[in-house]
Amino acid sequence: MNPFLRRATEYLRDTSQFLQITSPEPLSVFIGKHERRNDLLDVPVRIVGSPGTGKTMLASMVEYRTLEAVLLEQNNPNYRELTAAYNDARFADGDVPRVAAVRLPMESEYRDFWELPYEGAVKTKLMLALIQARAVIGLYRNLTANNRRDVADIGVTTRPEAYAQVEQIGGTRSLDQLSRAREVESAVYAIGSSLIPPTLEDIPQAANAPYQPFEAIQEFSIDWDGEPIALRPLVILDDVHTLHPDQLAALLRALARREMRIGRWMMMRMDSLSPHDILRSSDEDFGPGLKVERDYIDIYMQNVAHRRIERRRFRSMAEDMADRYLKFVPSLRDRGVDSFGATLLRRAPSFGIVNLRELKALINRDQKVLEITDGRRQQLTNIVSEYVANAKARDLTEEIRLAMLRVLMHRHAGRVSGVNLSLFDDPDPVVEVKAKPDIVDAAKVHLHHLFSRPLHYGLEDLCDASSENAELFLQLAGTLVDKLEAKVIRRQTAELTAQQQQEVLTQKAAEIVEKWSFPYARRVKSLIEEMGRRCVENSMLPNAPLGGGATSFGILEEELVQLLRTEKELLSVLKYAVAYGALTAVRNYGQGGKKWCLFELSGVVRLAYGLDLGRGSFLECKVAEIEAASEGVA
């Protein structure tokens, strides 16, 4: 089976197999290079991302059993980059571990506790007791996973001032703490899974008694190569978005207690946040008395603040990840294919003599309609030729040069419109037209829609179309791998032409958009269809006013702020559109002396509509227009 299409890392139980397909880049970027790296084990951390951005992979990567397995294999060249990432993130010091982390999946029965017939405080207490008990069990399981020590060999340091809590968790001996944790887990689990929950009076003592290991445990100690070392504990609650919103808020407030010495990370999807959070508003705090950056830290796995850096980083990570996955495709491995990027040809696609003849005829017709003299056309042709001669790009083929000429002709005509041609046979514009990179982008988009010339091909385009989403990248890459396998089976070259890549990616993108099934998906599709249509219409204007064409729609910041103060359903539509990767919100974008909020069409939408992958070009919209488009009445 194509491994690109079975990415879910939580299904990989074997550590060595997991490490073979794991890229250390997310750990280095999101944790190792975080400006508050030294605080990430002291306050709660919310790690937020759309589905498929790598939250579970990151959590699994830092679990102690994985960390120890890597550090014990120092001579393995495949682990050198991961070891460096551990050191950058302060999870290791050289080849010595410094953090004992455990990942707890939250999609199981924790939500059930919110349905129990008790007061909110009781339900929260039971949920916290189960989480803490399983965290303790998981930490000891991780510390003994590689058969290098027994539970009895693990030392525990508790907070000196937490004497009462230490007694509640079973004392200071590891075996007693593990026994107490199992007792609490069994008692609390029985309550949540009962067909008929017990009354408050009948709740077992093991579940009712105080139990706060997060406030009692400070660090673990183990023997490492004959020397004692201390490990900071870290509990990673994965997929906390499955909790009830009130339950999640109560959990964050509980984990924000300053007495806790255990690191607390919460991995969550963006759709569990409010529209304010998703749109990155700075005027809303999470719950009474909690402030971001002071009481908890947010890490977004899709960072719109440093987008160029993020795009380059993702390209590197995606290429590394694809090459790792490629090793698990037997038909390609047996042919010696070890570089995914090398299979995606970047050669300029063949245009064809017939298409070239039709393009020249189109330019001749435009010249006549625009009343451009032969001399002026030659001047514009020289401008294009000079640009091509000095350009770094080497794929500026004849059809692109001709399409550039057509754009310049229309721009020139626009700049001399209104001049009395009876007085001036060939007037000069006030501002001469120039050939620039955006003219090249426009030429490529025009050729794609007019003559089906491939627009999206090569590894960089594939990465950019994935919108910094690892799962989406692997879905798109997986369809290309299927095509590659089919060619190899037919004894053809293990390469995909630009045309083959475009066909596969366009079809897959349309399929992904069609299968959207998240909340408000119907209205999001209506919005995307209308905005996609408008962007294509703008992109095909012959004078290319926005270069490669519009790929976003923008509303004034003051309009968005007013919208956020309402309770309109449109906020939910935009929230889920951003949370599930249909749109990207960019706040406070400066243009024309004004501040805008841009809603960029995602890469997969641009693939489906044949739009440029560049950023920054947008159509001005009003909130009312966006609302009407989402309702299908635009």
Count of other CB atoms within 10 angstroms of residue 94: 10
The region of weakest confidence among 127-131, 195-199, 544-548 is 195-199
Query: What's the maximum distance between 2 C-alpha atoms anywhere in the chain?
Result: 100
Banded model confidence at residue 57, pLDDT cuts 50, 70, 90: confident
Instruction: Report the pLDDT averaged over residues 371-390.
Output: 94
Identify whether the C-beta of residue 121 lies closer than 8 Å to the C-beta of residue 249. no
3-state SS class at 216: helix
3-state SS class at 490: coil
Identify whether the C-beta of residue 340 lies closer than 8 Å to the C-beta of residue 322. yes
Identify whether the C-beta of residue 177 lies closer than 8 Å to the C-beta of residue 97. no
pLDDT, tens digit (0-9, with 9 covering 90-100), for 582-601: 999 998 999 989 999 999 99
Higher pLDDT, 425 or 229: 229
Residues 6+ apart with CB under 8 A from 157: 217, 218, 219, 220, 221, 230
Residue 419 has pLDDT above 80, yes or no: no
* Mean of pLDDT over the chain: 89
Banded model confidence at residue 281, pLDDT cuts 50, 70, 90: low
Instruction: Report the pLDDT averaged over residues 172-184.
Output: 96
Residue 610 has pLDDT above 80, yes or no: yes
Instruction: Report the pLDDT averaged over residues 605-625.
Output: 95
pLDDT, tens digit (0-9, with 9 covering 90-100), for 137-162: 999 999 999 888 999 999 999 998 88
- Predicted local distance difference test score (pLDDT) of residue 283: 46
Banded model confidence at residue 418, pLDDT cuts 50, 70, 90: low
Banded model confidence at residue 286, pLDDT cuts 50, 70, 90: very low
| DSSP 8-class letter at 74 | T
Higher pLDDT, 210 or 22: 210
The residue ranges of every structural domain in the chain are: 25-301, 353-451, 516-634
